[in-house]
């Protein structure tokens, strides 16, 4: 029961912080979204930063589950395309996820207490991409610097999402098609 209430608060914080940003989101806003009183939030969390910490952890854990699901459900020869489609589709399906992600990046740059947690979030994402690259590279018989390539791909995913969020006319499909061509070329993969 306590964990369910904590999860509800974290879900509410996700929604409020993606709309208002961390700085403007208040405990009262989060409580209203969660359907509880502001005082009750303090029963589950000491402060807004603790809610943010839990939100970062939940986001990281969900990303890990998503990557594991992708790897276990998609055949190796289709894995590269599926892995590229996931962040592209997420921009359209869950724009608030990216909005909060960018908010967290900005917070991490300004707040040393949060920067380690944001870095861990990025590291987790790179690791998920790297695991897929190892599978793709192994199947393609290729040795590669997957850590660097994963970092580049993550930067592409985030950068393309940012462009799409700021400019709805941005041709995300075309950009991802070119990114897919680059990955296929790097690993000598055919379509």
Domain locations in the chain as residue ranges: 1-45, 49-186
pLDDT tens per residue across span 16-34: 999 999 999 999 999 999 9
For residue 42, what are its two tokens? 């303090």
Cα 75 to Cα 29: distance, rounded to the nearest angstrom: 44
For residue 20, what are its two tokens? 């208002």
- The dihedral through the CA atoms of 162, 113, 118, 54 has a sign that is negative
pLDDT tens per residue across span 114-173: 899 999 999 999 999 998 888 887 755 556 788 899 999 999 999 999 999 999 999 999
**pLDDT of residue 39 exceeding 70:** yes
Closest CA to 159 of 86, 109, 90, 102: 102
pLDDT tens per residue across span 75-119: 877 888 888 999 999 999 999 999 999 999 999 999 998 899 999
Angle at the Cα of 158 (from 153 to 163), degrees rounded to 5?
120
**pLDDT of residue 190 exceeding 80:** no
pLDDT tens per residue across span 45-80: 999 989 998 998 898 888 889 888 988 998 877 888
CATH superfamily assigned to domain 49-186: Tetracycline Repressor, domain 2 (1.10.357.10)
User: Where does the pLDDT of residue 191 fall: very low under 50, low under 70, confident under 90, or very high at 90 and above?
Assistant: low
CATH number listed for the domain at residues 1-45: 1.10.10.60
Cα 189 to Cα 8: distance, rounded to the nearest angstrom: 44
Tokens 């690993």, residue located: 187
The helix/strand count (H/E) of the chain reads as 9, 0
């Amino acid at each position: 029961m306590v964990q369910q209430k904590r999860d509800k608060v974290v879900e509410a914080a996700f929604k409020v912080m993606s709309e208002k940003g961390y700085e403007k989101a208040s405990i009262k806003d989060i409580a209203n979204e969660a359907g509880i009183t502001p005082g009750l939030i303090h029963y589950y969390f000491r402060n807004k930063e603790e809610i943010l910490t839990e939100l970062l952890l939940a986001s990281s854990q969900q990303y890990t589950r998503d990557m594991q699901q992708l790897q276990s459900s998609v055949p190796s020869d289709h894995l590269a395309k599926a892995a590229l489609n996931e962040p592209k589709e997420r921009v359209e399906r869950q724009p608030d996820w990216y909005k909060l992600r960018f908010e967290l990046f900005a917070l991490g740059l300004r707040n040393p207490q949060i920067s380690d947690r944001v870095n861990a979030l990025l590291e987790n994402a790179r690791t998920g991409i790297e695991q897929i690259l190892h599978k793709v590279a192994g199947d393609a018989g290729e040795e590669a610097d997957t850590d660097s390539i994963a970092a580049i791909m993550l930067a592409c995913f985030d950068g393309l999402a940012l462009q799409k969020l700021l400019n709805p006319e941005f041709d995300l499909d075309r950009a991802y098609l070119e990114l897919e061509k680059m990955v296929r070329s790097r690993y000598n993969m055919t379509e």
